[in-house]
Amino acid sequence: MDTVKAYYNGSVFVPIVPLNIREGIIVQLSICQEDTTTNEASEKLEVFRRLTNEIHALNKTEPLTPEFDEVMSRRVNFTRGLDI
In a domain, 22, yes or no: yes
Domain that holds residue 25: 6-75
Burial track 27-53 (b if 16+ CB lie within 10 A, e otherwise): eeeeeeeeeeeeeebeeeeeeeeeeee
**pLDDT(39) > 70:** yes
Please tell me whether the overall predicted TM-score, pTM, comes out greater than 0.85 for this model. Answer: no
In a domain, 81, yes or no: no
> Cα(28)–Cα(30) distance, rounded to whole angstroms?
7
In a domain, 33, yes or no: yes
**Confidence band (pLDDT; 50, 70, 90) for 77?**
low
Domain count, the chain: 1
- Is there a contact between 35 and 43 (Cβ–Cβ < 8 Å)? no
Q: What is the largest CA-CA distance in the chain?
A: 75
Residue 51's pLDDT is 92
In a domain, 50, yes or no: yes
In a domain, 69, yes or no: yes
